[in-house]
Amino acid sequence: MRQSAEVGIVGAGPAGARAAELLAGQGADVLLLDPKAPWEKPCGGGLTSALFDDFPELEQVKPLARAINRARVELGPQAGFDVRLDTPIWMIAREALARWQLDRALEAGASHEPARVTSIERSRHGWLLETDRGALEALCLIGADGAASTVRSAVAPALAVELMPTRVAYPPIDGPPPEALVLRFFHRRVGYLWDFPRLDHRSVGIEVDAGTWRRPELDGRIDEYHQASAGQATASLTRAGAVIGTAQHGHGDFSRIAGPGFALLGDAAGFADPFTGEGIRNALRSAQLLAEAWRMGRSDWTRTYPALARAAFAREFAVARLLRRLLSETGAGVRLVESALASDLSYAIVVATLGVVSVHDYGLGHFLRRSLRAFSEVRADPARRGAAARA
């Protein structure tokens, strides 16, 4: 194992590998440390149109993904309705996405060591990282090691990140592939269950507020859903769990995501969307912002990066937190879905909410235009709602 690097990046998922690609492309000596990359992170794996707008090179992964144009919003097997998406969401296995991004980083000149970091300390020349494969000294340290970040614990313990637990199962697709994704919401619970069809399997997962349900209850909800929707036993399903990290960035304070000689990316920085929990887009965006700060001046990059992140994320996170309080924490979102089963106006509001979330455009004007369009469409064709039939 190498004993030194200019930039040590802990975590070779989309955020870390994207940062490695961009920094190596600027001539930096970059070493990625991750014992299991690329791996199947337990999440949905949905790539929205906003993600492809931000990163056109992601067009290369579309052959590895399934395009979904319809969503089923429900409270139970017989209580739901259909929503036609304005733009498709591409469902991809996270391992496939991670492999694609890691390959790009290596092609750009970064190195990858399958090592697990066990401790981090400051040294005379930067950082001393002890790993299960030896010690490494890095001038600069980047934490991209997820919501339960070892790097954050060592260098920015004051950055409070909310950890939302997730559990996921991966049923195979044996027959005709599902044509719709499913979002199921629960009474008196912050969070939701998802069913995202990928190329040869589905990602069926659930995320909830910490302390809501323990692992057996999360798995039980997934089993209950799978047995009702697919009529299959769940004993042999592949399962996994993880946590999603969101921070209090809705208040505008991004100062703790970087400091002398270090920076945090993606879930390690608490950049998962506070409303939906979606993290892929913000992981890649944070890497892009870090690379921009590095390009603007290597002597000042850890001060420039938080400023760029604040400009990019502050408004979006503030609105997402407001939506979480209004719709999730009060239970108003579940009541809205209940009302949308019969009310054209409530249905239009749900459609507009899904629309603004999928394109990450939280502007009031966009929301109102989308609501009006959905209201007009369902009035003209009530069958659009499809409330009587499962997607």
Q: Which comes out higher in pLDDT, residue 107 or 230?
A: 107
Distance CA 33, CA 113 (A): 5
**Would you say residue 167 has pLDDT above 70?**
yes
Q: Are residues 157 and 167 in the same domain?
A: no
| pLDDT category of residue 335 using cuts at 50, 70 and 90 | very high
User: Taking a C-beta distance cutoff of 8 angstroms, is the pair 223, 217 a contact?
Assistant: no
Beta-bridged to residue 195, according to DSSP, are: 182, 204
DSSP for 254-310? Answer: -GGGEETTEEE-GGGGTBS-TTT---HHHHHHHHHHHHHHHHH-TTSHHHHHHHHHH
pLDDT score of 68: 95
Q: Are residues 31 and 110 in the same domain?
A: yes
Q: Which of 87-101, 220-234, 271-285, 297-311 has the lowest mean pLDDT?
A: 220-234
Instruction: Look at residues 244, 263, 297 and tell me which one is the last residue of a structural domain.
Output: 244
Tens-digit pLDDT profile for residues 282-312:
999 999 999 999 999 988 999 999 999 999 9
pTM of the predicted model as reported, rounded to 2 decimal places: 0.92
The answer to the question of residue 255 being in a domain is yes
- H/E run at residue 65: strand 65-76
Q: What percent of the chain has pLDDT over 90?
A: 64
Q: Are residues 312 and 332 in the same domain?
A: no
User: Taking a C-beta distance cutoff of 8 angstroms, is the pair 262, 141 a contact?
Assistant: yes
For 360-367, what is the mean pLDDT? 80
Q: At which residue do the structure tokens 């507020």 appear? A: 209
Range of the domain at 197: 66-90+163-244
Instruction: Look at residues 244, 265, 287 and tell me which one is the last residue of a structural domain.
Output: 244
Q: What percent of the chain has pLDDT over 70?
A: 96
Domain tally, the chain: 3
pLDDT score of 121: 96
Q: Are residues 307 and 190 in the same domain?
A: no
Q: Determine how many CB atoms are found less than 10 A away from the CB of residue 241.
A: 13
Burial 254-270 (b: 16+ CB within 10 A, else e): bebbbbebbbbbbbbbb
Pick from 253, 251, 249, 382: nearest CA to 266 = 249
The answer to the question of residue 51 being in a domain is no
Question: Considering the chain, what is the average pLDDT of its residues?
Answer: 90
